[in-house]
Amino acid sequence: AQKVTQAQTEISVVEKEDVTLDCVYETRDTTYYLFWYKQPPSGELVFLIRRNSFDEQNEISGRYSWNFQKSTSSFNFTITASQVVDSAVYFCALSEAPTGTASKLTFGTGTRLQVTL
Amino acid sequence: ETGVTQSPTHLIKTRGQQVTLRCSSQSGHNTVSWYQQALGQGPQFIFQYYREEENGRGNFPPRFSGLQFPNYSSELNVNALELDDSALYLCASSSRLGAGNEQFFGPGTRLTVL
């Protein structure tokens, strides 16, 4: 069965600090996808990144970067120079359905990030 | 391009009642998934519809049912409401099936069961 663990329930940082959100996953499949979503107070989940299990290259997008390590089943997310607008709940998710079947996302419990001035 | 929309925004019901939640998928998307998000938790997969047929279901009882229409909009119906059904219900659409496809989420419907 697939499972996603986000051990950090809540993190508070001061603006301009770097912060890393941890994500550990469990799956028996060799082909799977990992996602990060941001959920601001409005409630809508905003897609941030998708990674497939065959691509372990780290990715950087502006202030955001992701570190995917299959050896430790982790997919961590780092925000550099955090800003108040980064305050939200961040979810890591896993999808392991074969093509053509339900593309179910299994989410972690989320990490609430609070960035203050 | 119109994003995923959901209605109503908020809803209050009492135990035992029935509720219907609606979702309009993003233009061009034929796959709709529904998720339940209890307070302080991550979203839980309820079911997915593809071209008007249920295409997978999570661990939810049969009183959770759905429909998808020819225009790919969708409904989630919950019968015999229980207090634990109080949650944010999220609809997500994608352009095709497959684990790697990005799902675009709507703003959700917050259901309160008293």
Q: What is the pLDDT of residues B30-62, one digit of tens each?
A: 899 999 999 999 999 999 998 899 988 999 999
pLDDT value for A56: 82
CB contact under 8 A, A100 and B97: yes
pLDDT in tens, A66-113: 999 999 999 999 999 999 999 999 999 999 866 556 678 999 999 999
What would the mean pLDDT of A59-65 be, rounded to a whole number? 90
pLDDT in tens, B7-22: 999 999 999 999 999 9
Q: Which residues of B touch A47 (CB under 8 A)?
A: 102-105
- What beta strand segments (E) does A22-107 contain? 24-26, 33-39, 46-52, 59-61, 64-69, 74-79, 88-95, 106-107
Whole-number Cα distances in Å, A29 to A33, A52, A53: 10, 12, 9
Nearest to B11 by CA among B22, B23, B19: B19
Q: Which of B40, B103, B110 sits opposite A105 (nearest CB)?
A: B103
Given CB atoms, is B33 within the 8 Å cutoff of chain A? yes
Nearest-Cα residue of chain B relative to residue A95: B99
Nearest-Cα residue of chain B relative to residue A109: B42
Min CA distance, B106 vs chain A (Å)? 6
pLDDT value for A29: 87
Min CA distance, B29 vs chain A (Å)? 14
